[in-house]
Structure 1
Amino acid sequence: MATLLTETDVRVKDGLTRLSTEQLHELKERGFVTVRAIAPPADVAIMDAVLRDLLARGVGFKEGARRDLVDPEDSLGANSLTELVRPQNYAAVLRRSAYFESAYAIARQVLGDDAEFAFDHAILKPAFHGAETPWHQDEAYQAERDSERDQIAFWMPTTLATVENGCMRYIPGSHKLGVLPHQPLGGDARVHALQCIGNFDADSAVYCPLQPGDAVIHAGRTLHSAAPNMTADVRLAYILVFAGPSRRPAAPRDHSWLKRPNETAARRRKLWLWRGGAVIELARRVARNRYYHPAFYVGRLRRLLARQSRT
């Protein structure tokens, strides 16, 4: 039977947030833990306004960064479950938030001092018809065959997140199962969202309702989902993802569900990259990682174009 979860405050040290010993244990054993007030109200208000503006203007659509996760046509007008990937590319103020600093501090606490910021994204469930987020594991989206990384995600709503409007829900302990089989939602290879088709008990789900500025932290292999939004208010969340160092997996990974050249948003992104977007993308990576040698970026550009030519 599904349950509701409430949690304790985060602990503040030197102006940054840290998890308590109990919270670290809960994250390790259950695969998720909630924290309160990871971001101050002023920060939350700014992030909410910035993200709403970006989404309303359709920013990132041509480059495949703005997409509807469950709509196979994925038109600019689709708004069943809208995602904007790397909104920091379009609004640098998002990275200057107390939320980012606190999440980064916790990521280093959990993953070690080598933890790196991986990416951010925002997800909007519109009022009355916001679609269900299918059950999935974040690591199922990782395409590297010979490399894997531990990761954690910080899911913070900028609006009230309730059971009725689609707060997060988790399967406790599912991060210990390995990466389960997935497929594109409904078996439609045009859709970006993946759904887990492995064996798990959805009735054991724990719901995590949150206030704006609270957060739930989960591991990359923790099964999670979110119900539809059937209320009169939108549900907007801003997610930060951090990862540890790369390592070689015990066996090469074969995420066959990622081999879908007809995915609508991916095709749009491929066209954008070949029309000059690859240079823009490279410049963004340089800005995010200024300490790398230039040869690193040349190699990344070649791999980026090669990867897109295969999809």
Structure 2
Amino acid sequence: MAFDDMLSEHQAYLFERNGFVNAGPLISEAEADQLADEILTIIERREDPNSPQPLRIANLSREAEKPIWQIVNIWQASEAFSQLLKNEKLKHYISKLTGKSDFRIWHDQVQYKPSHVGGRLSWHQDLPKWPVMKGGTQLTAWIALDDAGPQNGCMVMVPGSHLRGNQNEWLHQHDGRWQLGHNDSFMSEPTQVLCPVQKGHVHFHDSLTWHSSGPNLSGQPRRAIALHFMDTETLFNCQGDHLMKEHIASEDGQPIQGYPFLPI
């Protein structure tokens, strides 16, 4: 089957209108299982000086007993994840969704919510968390390594929110209690859509789409990897700060270069 046949015009339309879309299968269940096991291995060996390490391993949850494990640039520590970045379907999907062909990996990010105790992730947008960027186009490919549904903390998104600009400070301030904070009906009563994703499937969202995820109340883990992409028109803002900033080799206002920032 040709790659273009695997992503319909309607799916591309939904991405443009809503700011997110489930694109369907990307990798096999066996490949997803291998990657899921790799996550556990890398967490276990995170303090081993003789093992390759990702750029960062941290617990994003405000509650230590309800962890959300984040691993940034796991590809540095895992050949299997390094190979995932070279998946040819991703390039075709992104080109069809955006109409552009020149994209690079900004960074990857594993999100692992253990069974029963995996915590909630608050409402946010991605791009405002990357203040070293300006201009260009950015999007995320979110690949489920376990079935992700309401019981184990799948994502929730607000359709059309990517057209509202930077609302991240307001989202953090109200975090779901939106009726208290705005007279605009879109802002105070936004439509919230659950986004379940099957193991091995990929879900795309725009860098300004509002999203969150609930706690993992199930007996199953929720492991996934988000691949954050930027196009070659994305420029460096030296006034911003980010974990990746020290790896950028560009002058202020120039296209972001440096590190590998792997092309796709």
Q: CA–CA distance in 1 between the matches of 2:230 and 2:84? A: 19
Cα distance per residue 1:10-63 (max 9 Å; x no partner): xx416x875211110000000101122111122212211112211232369998
Distance 1:201 1:39, change over 3 A: farther
Question: How many corresponding residue pairs?
Answer: 243
Q: Does 2:61 match 1:70?
A: yes
> How far apart are residue 236 of structure 1 and its match?
0.7
Query: Aligned residue for 1:87?
Result: 74
Alignment equivalent of 1:50, drawn from 2, 14, 38: 38
Distance 2:223 2:217 in 1: 14
Percent of residue pairs bearing the same amino acid type: 20
Contact 1:68/1:82 (8 A) holds in 2: yes
Task: Kindly provide the amino acid, as one letter, of the partner of residue 169 in structure 2.
Answer: H
Indicate if the aligned counterparts of 2:135 and 2:234 stay in contact, CA closer than 8 A.
yes
Q: Deviations over 1:199-242 (max 9, x none)?
A: 53466210011221122110000000101111122111111121
Indicate if the aligned counterparts of 2:57 and 2:69 stay in contact, CA closer than 8 A.
Answer: yes
Please name the residue that 2:195 is paired with. 208
Displacement of 1:148: 2.7
Partner in structure 2 of residue 171 of structure 1: 158
For residue 227 of structure 2, what is the aligned residue in structure 1? 240
User: Which of the pair is proportionally richer in helix?
Assistant: 1
The match for 1:121 is: 109
For residues 2-151 of structure 1, what are the structure 2 equivalents within 5 Å? 12-13=1-2, 18-58=6-46, 65-71=56-62, 80-97=67-84, 100-111=87-98, 112-144=100-132, 147-151=134-138
CA contact under 8 A between 1:83 and 1:124: conserved in structure 2? yes
Amino acid at match of 2:94: A
Q: Distance in 2 between matches of 1:140 and 1:47?
A: 29
C-alpha deviations, 1:69-119, integer Å up to 9, x for none?
1338xxxx7761110001001113213238833223212333312122221
Consecutive unaligned residues in structure 2, runs of 5 or more: 248-257
Q: Distance in 1 between matches of 2:211 and 2:22?
A: 14
Matched residue type, 2:61: V
Instruction: Give the superposed CA RMSD.
Output: 3.8
Q: Is the 8 A contact 1:34 1:216 kept in 2?
A: yes
Q: Secondary structure at the match of 1:52?
A: helix
Larger Rg: 1
Change (3 A) 1:161 1:186: same
Change (3 A) 1:203 1:180: closer
TM normalised by structure 1 equals 0.66
Question: Is the contact made by 1:43 and 1:99 (CA closer than 8 Å) also made in structure 2?
Answer: no
Q: Distance in 1 between matches of 2:124 and 2:177?
A: 5
- SS of the residue 1:204 aligns to: coil
Change (3 A) 1:289 1:116: closer
| Partner SS, residue 46 of structure 2 | coil
Find 2:213's aligned residue among 220, 223, 226.
226
Distance 1:70 1:238, change over 3 A: same
Find the residue that maps to 2:12 and give its secondary structure: helix
SS in 2 for 1:71: coil
1:132/1:148 Cα in 2 relative to 1: closer, same or farther (>3 Å)? same
Q: TM-score, normalised by structure 2?
A: 0.77
Distance in 2 (alpha carbons) for counterparts of 1:109 and 1:234:
32
CA–CA distance in structure 1, aligned partners of residues 48 and 106 of structure 2: 18
